[in-house]
Amino acid sequence: MNHNHRIKAIFFDLDGTLRHSVPEGAQVFDEYLISLGYPLIEEARHRAIRWEYLYWANSPDLRDDLLAHSADTENFWIEYTRRRLVAVGLSPASAKELAPQVSAHMGEMYKPQSIVPDDVRRLLPALKEAGYILAVISNREKPFHDLLASHQLSEFFHFSLAAGEVDIYKPDPGVFHHALNRANTTAPETVYVGDNYFADVVGSRRAGLHPVLYDPNGIFPEADCPTIQSFDELHEVIESL
């Protein structure tokens, strides 16, 4: 692979980008609703997934829920479930009534496997060999070194950064500025790859990086940035910058 000498560093999001939960929570959530007799059209399921991305992009709703339920994980997830039920099309009253049941089902039955896709495993050694500075920046609260190690990914990255370590969460550009300082690169020399348009593209662009959206399921067809559906496509995107 040729090394684009304009680009010195490539930063990645973690969850939903390098690491995936199988099956996805949205799939289990929606299948349970259908089993309860709530028919979900594809448009509603798509709308709810987009809502999830917006919610987890350090949204005001997320911050409110964390503040209200900081010491009560069960009620946090009930409130999250209520919000998602509204997003998928239930009335506010029905969502409030059903949320405890759906949340309990998810807590009991959702036990996903954590995997790294094959295209990621093909990509990272090639990028490392090409000499790029590689890093992972996540909106997680705590460092995730052990997780990277458990998936045999640690050797590829110069560092990882959890937003909670600096108390600045994507899409705030500050977390990217911290990463640039650690990598000793400038924003125009750096690419950021993530699956959440609202957090990853908006945040990295605000910081001046080159955003690349990983969108294998076509959740953001209107995205105004380079988009890939497989990491096998990333080489070409980097070379075009």
Half-sphere exposure of 49 (CA within 13 A, CB side): 22
Domain annotation covers residue 203: yes
Residue 1 within a domain? no
Q: pLDDT over 70 for what percent of the chain?
A: 98
Q: Taking the alpha carbons of 144, 147, 148, 149 in that order, is the dihedral positive or negative?
A: positive
**Whether 129 and 222 share a structural domain:** yes
- CB neighbour list of residue 235: distance below 8 Å, 6 or more residues apart: 1, 123, 126
Looking at residue 195, which CATH number applies to its domain? Answer: 3.40.50.1000
- In the structure encoding, which two tokens stand for residue 87, read together? 């997003």
In this structure, the answer to whether residues 147 and 41 fall within a common structural domain is no
Are residues 85 and 67 both part of a single domain?
Answer: yes
Same-domain check for residues 38 and 147: no
Task: Determine, yes or no, domain membership for 4.
Answer: no
Quote the pLDDT of residue 1: 46
Q: Is residue 128 part of a domain?
A: yes
The whole domain housing 80 covers 24-109
Domain count of the chain?
2
Whether residue 218 sits in one domain with residue 121: yes
Tell me the C-alpha distance between 141 and 89, whole Å. 31
Shared domain check, 104 and 67: yes
88 lies in some domain:
yes
pTM of the model: 0.95
* Domain match, 90 and 205 both: no
Cβ proximity of 197 and 191 under 8 Å: no
For residues 231-235, average pLDDT: 97
Asked if residue 214 and residue 118 are part of one domain, the reply reads yes
> Do 213 and 131 share a structural domain?
yes
Does residue 194 belong to any structural domain of this protein? Answer: yes
Closest CA to 137 of 188, 216, 209: 209
Mean pLDDT, rounded, for 108-135: 97
Domain presence at residue 67: yes
Statement to judge: residues 173 and 217 lie in one domain: yes
Residues 185 and 215 grouped into a single domain: yes
Do residues 98 and 120 share a domain? no
Query: 51-94: per-residue pLDDT in tens?
Result: 999 999 999 999 999 999 988 899 999 999 999 999 999 999 99
